[in-house]
Amino acid sequence: MQALPRYGPMLYFLPFTENQRRFRRCITAKLPMRSLLIPAFVAASMLAGCSIGTIAQKVDPYRIDIRQGNYVDQAMVSQLKRGMSREQVRFVLGTPLVVDIFRSNRWDYVYRFKPGNGEPEQRVFSVFFVDDKLDHVEGDILAGDPQEAAASQQANRSRVVEVPAESKK
């Protein structure tokens, strides 16, 4: 006797029980739904691909705040006195970021702050020495009370500040 293929015509010749008939009817009833499922998935994928540009505009990745340089505030500037030595100035303000090799009498303190999702802010503060003693300072940081100076600092971003002479005791 010749062997019949396992999944060939043999399925059609077997007598169906009632459960097999019900199962066959359920499968054939769901076939139209399955045939619509694939095109619906493809259409949804294509529509989602079109909306990626708008999603990218609304969802912004996290960006860290970047701080570079020497932070010099008004409290530090108010501690400076005319006639201070370089070591004293370095103690108050920290090591300068830029030391001009052509003019050794000038130290520059540059501070740059770039918030993750904002405009960068840059401050420049220069210290000038005569005979290794502090003579004057220039920059966009004012000496004195921080609250009072905040309003005037917005008006003038760069200003020359006269350092008072060291008081003799």
Residue 77 is part of a domain; what is its CATH number? 3.30.1450
Long-range contacts of 87-95 (CB under 8 A, 24+ apart): 88/134, 89/127, 89/134, 93/125, 93/127, 94/70, 95/70
Confidence of residue 120 (pLDDT cuts 50, 70, 90): very high
The answer to whether position 5 is within a domain reads: no
pTM: 0.52
Each residue of 125-154: pLDDT tens digit? 999 999 989 999 988 876 665 555 555 555
- Domain check: are 37 and 103 in the same one? no
Residue 148 is assigned to a structural domain of this protein:
yes
Which of 26, 42, 58 lies at the terminal end of a domain, its last residue?
58
Structural tokens at position 143: 């000496």
Query: pLDDT digit string (tens) for 48-77?
Result: 766 556 666 677 778 899 999 888 888 888
Domain span including residue 17: 10-58
Per the structure, the count of domains in the chain is 2
128: exposed, middle or buried (C-beta count within 10 Å: 0-12, 13-18, 19+)? middle
